[in-house]
């Protein structure tokens, strides 16, 4: 589903920080504005009303009284919206600087954003973080997100041309957080189907309209047909990345390996709430023509369930085992593939058990830990409360890892670990597992 991130919104996100004293009046006015935005735009009108009532009740019950900054208020409200609405796309953002007026549709780029946005996409390689050929002639591509083919079409075509000669393909979506356009999933999917296929329907509240999404009969470059495809997933895999996985699974075009995904099928855009707040609001939802439903709140279930940090190794083994059988009549090539299979078996990743513990926070309802050891999945490793301590064991490869705890939907540093590391716009706790 579409998640449009404008350059101005991106830059504001990067510079957002805690504010000065945030008053009760400001909280009340912000909640009124949030409620109005939701009632006008949210894909589910009845849920929008319920969310507004809940936020006002929280305010009345003094749930936000101890919050003194707009940034922290945004975190708490976001957690409440997600929990009550059961919609992980809902999120409120705070900015110190006054936000510019919203002059375009939430799903469209403003003219002033377009140039800078294009430059940013280029710098980010259109969401492609890795492209290579693994042992045994297995193609591999890792996406952190997908963007509109208007910007990335030539690059994605070159990518598919590069992968065309491989005998199997692994698409890694373990760290992929979505799509910035409704056009990109049909475009990429078209390389994997010989004839047009009905992929998905998008229902939009505005105009009460439903738009069908199909693959194209023709695409630039070469198609990737009649070869096995493996899609890697994690609890972090979200939104448009889930759509690709869900479509391919239901159309039996790929084997999914990894964890159940995040569960976000309601696409939308960012809407200005007030001078210092905006929020991502789901404006529509997906309807799959095979299942007549979607993955909202439940995620996409993999065919092979395995921890995400083991998924790539499992996919390589699965692909090579398939290719050994495929080339059984070609002694030389079968011998080569068999030797690669044995090498992959010998290189099974080593994992060590580590115990994460969080003292206090007895009033919390749910606590998770997310980090580099589990692809930053917000729902994979859940802590259990034992007395006054929350605790869980995880498996991680030896070495340095960054992490945070997720406390009822809010991400926090480990208060008992002074070691921290700045990674981009985020600061995370650090631990060495050995």
- CATH number of 409's domain: 2.60.40.10
What residues does 359 pair with on adjacent strands? Answer: 389
The beta-carbon contacts of 207-210 under 8 Å, at least 24 apart in sequence, are 210/287
Same domain membership, residue 196 and residue 145 = yes
User: Does any domain span residue 7?
Assistant: no
pLDDT at 110: 73
Same-domain status, 406 and 422? yes
Shared domain for 311 and 405, answered yes or no, is no
pLDDT number for residue 104: 72
Res 20: pLDDT: 54
240, part of any domain: yes
CA separation, residue 67 to residues 59, 77, 157, 366, 407 (Å): 11, 11, 49, 20, 16
Domain assignment present for residue 392? The answer is: yes
Residue 73: which H helix or E strand, with range? helix 70-85
Do residue 388 and residue 293 come from a single domain? no
User: In which residue ranges of the chain is pLDDT below 70?
Assistant: 1-20
Both 335 and 358 in one domain: the answer is no
Residue 357 maps to a domain: yes
Confidence at residue 108, expressed as pLDDT on a 0 to 100 scale: 77
CB 315 within 8 A of CB 257: yes
**Residue 3 in domain:** no
What pTM was estimated for this model as a whole? 0.91
Domain end among 346, 369, 384:
346
Query: What pLDDT sits at residue 4?
Result: 47
| Separation between Cα atoms, residue 31 and residue 58, nearest integer Å | 10
> What pLDDT is attached to residue 242?
97
Same structural domain, 339 and 399: no
Return d(Cα 179, Cα 120) in angstroms, integer: 15
295 shares a domain with 242: yes
Beta strands in 183-234 (DSSP E): 198-204, 209-214, 229-233
Pick the last residue of a domain from 346, 377, 395: 346
Q: How many domains does the chain contain in total?
A: 3
Residue range of the domain that includes 33? 17-94
The answer to the question of residue 105 being in a domain is no
Burial track 271-287 (b if 16+ CB lie within 10 A, e otherwise): bbbbebbbbbbbbbbbb
CA 384, CA 358: separation in Å to the nearest integer? 10
């Amino acid at each position: 589903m579409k998640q449009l991130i404008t350059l101005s919104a991106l830059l504001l996100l990067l510079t957002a920080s805690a504010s000065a004293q945030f008053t009760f009046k400001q909280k009340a006015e912000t909640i009124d504005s949030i409620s109005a935005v939701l009632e006008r735009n949210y894909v589910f009108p009845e849920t929008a009303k319920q969310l507004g009532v809940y936020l006002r009740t929280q305010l009345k019950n003094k749930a936000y009284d101890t919050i003194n900054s707009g940034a922290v208020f945004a975190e708490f409200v976001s957690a409440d919206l997600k929990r009550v609405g059961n919609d992980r796309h809902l999120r409120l953002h705070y900015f110190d600087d006054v936000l510019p007026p919203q002059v375009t549709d939430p799903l469209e780029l403003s003219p002033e954003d377009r140039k800078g946005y294009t430059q940013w996409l280029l710098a980010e390689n259109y969401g492609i973080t890795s492209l290579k050929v693994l042992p045994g002639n297995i193609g591999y591509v890792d996406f952190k997100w997908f963007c509109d083919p208007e910007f990335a079409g030539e690059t994605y075509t070159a990518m598919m041309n590069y992968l065309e000669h491989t005998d199997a393909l692994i698409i890694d979506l373990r760290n992929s957080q979505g799509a910035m356009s409704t056009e990109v999933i049909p475009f990429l999917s078209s390389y994997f189907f010989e004839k047009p296929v009905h992929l998905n329907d998008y229902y939009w509240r505005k105009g009460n309209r439903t738009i069908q999404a199909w693959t194209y009969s023709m695409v630039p470059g070469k198609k990737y047909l009649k070869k096995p495809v493996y899609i890697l997933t994690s609890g972090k895999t979200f939104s448009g990345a889930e759509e690709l996985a869900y479509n391919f699974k239901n159309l039996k075009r790929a084997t999914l390996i990894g964890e159940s995904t995040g569960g976000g099928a309601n696409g939308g855009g960012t809407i200005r709430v007030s001078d210092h707040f905006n929020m991502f609001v789901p404006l529509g939802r997906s309807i799959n023509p095979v299942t007549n439903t979607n993955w909202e709140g439940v995620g996409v279930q993999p065919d092979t369930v395995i921890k995400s940090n083991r998924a790539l190794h499992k996919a390589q083994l699965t692909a090579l085992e398939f290719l050994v059988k495929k080339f059984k009549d070609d002694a030389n090539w079968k011998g080569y593939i068999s030797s690669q299979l044995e090498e992959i078996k010998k290189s099974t990743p080593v994992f060590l058990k580590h115990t994460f513990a969080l003292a206090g926070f007895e009033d919390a309802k749910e606590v998770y830990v997310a980090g580099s050891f589990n692809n930053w999945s917000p729902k994979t490793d859940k802590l259990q409360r034992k007395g006054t301590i929350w605790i869980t064991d995880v498996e991680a490869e030896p070495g340095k890892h960054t992490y945070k705890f997720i406390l009822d939907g809010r991400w926090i540093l480990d208060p008992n670990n002074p070691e921290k590391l700045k990674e981009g716009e985020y600061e995370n706790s650090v631990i060495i597992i050995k």
